[in-house]
C-alpha cells in the first residue's frame, strides 16, 4: 500500500502532536506535584506554639480575642453553587504583637453585592484550632494591588496583599492565615480545607485527553497519507 503526504500537512500535524504530548506531560507532572502536596498536607505536624516559622498546613491551637468589628471578606467563593465570601477575622494573641487572620469559612452573598453578611463573632477570650497556610493568590495578577477604604468594615476583597491588610488594620500580621477546623464553633460553612482546588485525578484526566489528541493527530496523518497514496496510484 502506497503512502503519500504533503510536507505542510506533515508539519502541521507533527506540530499539533508535539503540542498535545507536551500538554499531556505537563498535566501528568501537575498530578504528581499535587500528590506530593496532599501527602505533605496529610502528614503536617501539630505545633505547640508559634515560636518558630510554621510549615504551611501545620496544625495549631491558639488562644486570644477575635475582633468583632473588623472583618475581611474574600469574594468569589462558591459553595454548593452559591456565591459568597470567606470571612477573615483578626485574632489578637496575649503573647504576640502580630494579629493572626482566621479564615472562619463561607457565608452567602447576594449576586449584586447589594448587602454584606452579618458576621457573628464570639466575645471574650477564645481558643481556636486550625491549619496555618498562605493567603489565596491569583494565578496571574493583573493591574494594581487592591486598596482598602480605611475605617470601613467589613471590607470586600478578592486577592489582597499583606501590606494592604496591615495598613487597613494598622497592625502587624502573622504572614500566614489560620484556616479554622471544621469542628470549631467559631466558624461558618465550607471548611473542608485542601492544599489545592483541583486534585491529581482531574489532572490525570486532562493528561489522558491531551495524549488522546496526540494519538488522534498521528492517526489522521496516517489515514490522509494512505488515502493520498491510494489516489495517486489509481
DSSP secondary structure, 19-57, as one string? HHHHHHHHHHHHHHHHHHHHHHHHTPPEES-SSSPPPTT
Q: Please, what is the Cα angle at 180 between 177 and 183, to 5 degrees?
A: 170
Q: For residue 107, is it within any domain?
A: yes
Confidence (pTM) = 0.74
What is the C-alpha separation between 196 and 204, in angstroms, rounded? 15
Q: Are 189 and 90 in contact (CB under 8 A)?
A: no
Domain total in the chain:
2
Q: How far is CA 37 from CA 25, 26, 46, 91, 195, in A?
A: 18, 16, 17, 27, 7
Supply the DSSP string of 90-101, one letter for each residue: EEEETT-SSEEE
Each residue's pLDDT tens digit, 143-169? 455 666 777 889 888 888 898 899 889
Mean pLDDT of the chain: 85
Q: For residue 43, is it within any domain?
A: no
**Dihedral, 52, 56, 58, 59 alpha carbons, nearest 10:** 110
Mean pLDDT computed over 84-105: 93
Q: Determine the structural domain holding residue 13 and report its residue range.
A: 7-37+200-233
pLDDT band at 233 (very low <50, low <70, confident <90, very high): low
Same domain? 66 vs 158? yes
Mean pLDDT computed over 107-136: 87
Same domain? 110 vs 174? yes
Q: For residue 134, is it within any domain?
A: yes
Q: How far is CA 124 from CA 13, 92, 93, 130, 178, in A?
A: 67, 11, 12, 19, 19
Q: For residue 100, is it within any domain?
A: yes
What is the C-alpha separation between 73 and 107, in angstroms, rounded? 9
Instruction: Note the pLDDT of residue 194.
Output: 80
Does pLDDT of 113 surpass 60?
yes
Burial 71-88 (b: 16+ CB within 10 A, else e): bbbbeebebeeeebbbbb
Same domain? 174 vs 221? no
Same domain? 83 vs 135? yes
Instruction: Note the pLDDT of residue 138.
Output: 55
Q: Are 73 and 154 in contact (CB under 8 A)?
A: yes
Same domain? 146 vs 65? yes
Each residue's pLDDT tens digit, 154-209? 988 888 889 889 988 989 999 999 999 999 989 999 888 887 777 788 899 999 99
Q: For residue 2, is it within any domain?
A: no
Instruction: Note the pLDDT of residue 139.
Output: 46
Same domain? 28 vs 66? no
Amino acid at each position: 500500500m502506497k503512502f503519500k503526504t504533503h510536507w505542510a500537512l506533515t508539519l502541521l500535524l507533527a506540530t499539533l502532536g508535539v503540542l498535545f504530548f507536551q500538554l499531556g506531560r505537563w498535566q501528568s507532572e501537575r498530578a504528581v506535584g499535587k500528590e506530593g502536596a496532599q501527602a505533605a498536607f496529610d502528614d503536617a505536624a501539630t505545633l505547640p506554639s508559634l515560636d518558630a516559622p510554621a510549615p504551611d498546613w501545620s496544625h495549631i491551637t491558639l488562644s486570644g480575642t477575635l475582633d468583632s468589628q473588623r472583618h475581611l471578606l474574600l469574594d468569589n467563593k462558591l459553595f454548593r453553587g452559591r456565591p459568597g465570601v470567606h470571612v477573615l477575622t483578626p485574632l489578637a494573641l496575649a503573647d504576640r504583637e502580630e494579629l493572626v487572620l482566621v479564615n472562619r469559612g463561607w457565608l452567602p452573598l447576594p449576586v449584586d453585592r447589594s448587602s454584606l453578611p452579618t458576621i457573628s463573632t464570639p466575645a471574650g477570650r477564645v481558643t481556636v484550632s486550625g491549619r496555618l497556610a498562605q493567603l489565596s493568590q491569583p494565578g496571574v495578577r493583573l493591574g494594581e494591588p487592591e486598596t482598602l477604604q480605611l475605617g470601613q468594615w467589613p471590607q470586600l476583597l478578592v486577592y489582597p496583599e499583606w501590606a494592604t491588610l496591615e495598613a487597613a488594620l494598622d497592625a502587624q500580621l502573622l504572614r500566614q492565615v489560620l484556616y479554622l477546623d471544621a469542628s470549631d464553633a467559631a466558624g461558618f460553612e465550607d471548611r473542608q480545607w485542601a492544599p489545592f482546588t483541583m486534585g491529581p485525578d482531574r489532572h490525570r484526566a486532562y493528561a489522558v485527553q491531551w495524549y488522546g489528541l496526540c494519538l488522534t493527530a498521528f492517526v489522521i496523518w496516517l489515514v490522509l497519507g494512505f488515502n493520498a497514496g491510494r489516489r495517486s496510484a489509481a
